[in-house]
Amino acid sequence: MGNAVQNQEQQITYLKERLNMFLQVIDTMDPEEVELEDVDRLLSMLDELELKCTQFQNDDVK
């Protein structure tokens, strides 16, 4: 995932992969043992996804 994302198809693929990683993290969590740091990390992951969506959307506008 270190390569630059150049076109819309790559952007969608990137976002799907990141979303799948997010879902995998959630699936591996035990609700009985989730700590505040875990929730913070999930929120951070969502923020990163939102930022990428905004960046890709702005790239499409240019």
Q: What is the pLDDT of residues 2-16, one digit of tens each?
A: 566 778 999 999 999
Residues 6 or more apart whose Cβ sits within 8 Å of residue 15:
49, 52, 53, 56
User: What is the extent of the structural domain holding 12?
Assistant: 8-61
| pLDDT tens, position by position, 35-49 | 999 999 999 999 999
Whether 28 is covered by a domain: the verdict is: yes
Q: Considering the entire predicted model, what is its pTM? A: 0.78
Chain centre to alpha carbon of residue 13: 11
pLDDT value at position 18? 96
Whether 21 is covered by a domain: the verdict is: yes
Residues comprising the chain, all counted: 62
Domain count, the chain: 1
pLDDT value at position 1? 47
